Amino acid sequence: MQKEVLGNTTNSTIISSLRKFVKYQVCVLAFTRMGPGVLSEPEVAVQTLEDGKNRIVFGVQLY
């Protein structure tokens, strides 16, 4: 799955339509007018709950 977040002041987003009880790995790739940056490392590993009623919150700091 890939999600594009537009705008140069965006510092958060919601990833929806996740399946129940599935492990996901999330990473960030920022773009500027000069081109793509470096892919964030390490990937953040998260797992949704069995009932699908959870909200996963985590932070990624970009420099």
List all residues 6 or more positions away from 42 whose beta carbon is below 8 Å from its beta carbon. Answer: none
pLDDT of residue 59: 58
**Boundaries of every domain in the chain:** 18-54
For the segment 1-51, what is each residue's pLDDT rounded down to a tens digit? 778 877 777 777 778 788 888 888 888 888 888 988 888 888 888 888 887
Alpha carbon distance 36, 33 (integer Å): 8
Mapping DSSP onto H, E and C, the string for 8-61 reads CCCCCCCCCCCCCCCEEEECCCCEECCEECCCCCCCEEEECCCCCCCCCCCCCC
Higher-confidence position of 57 and 40: 40
The tokens for 63 are 């420099």
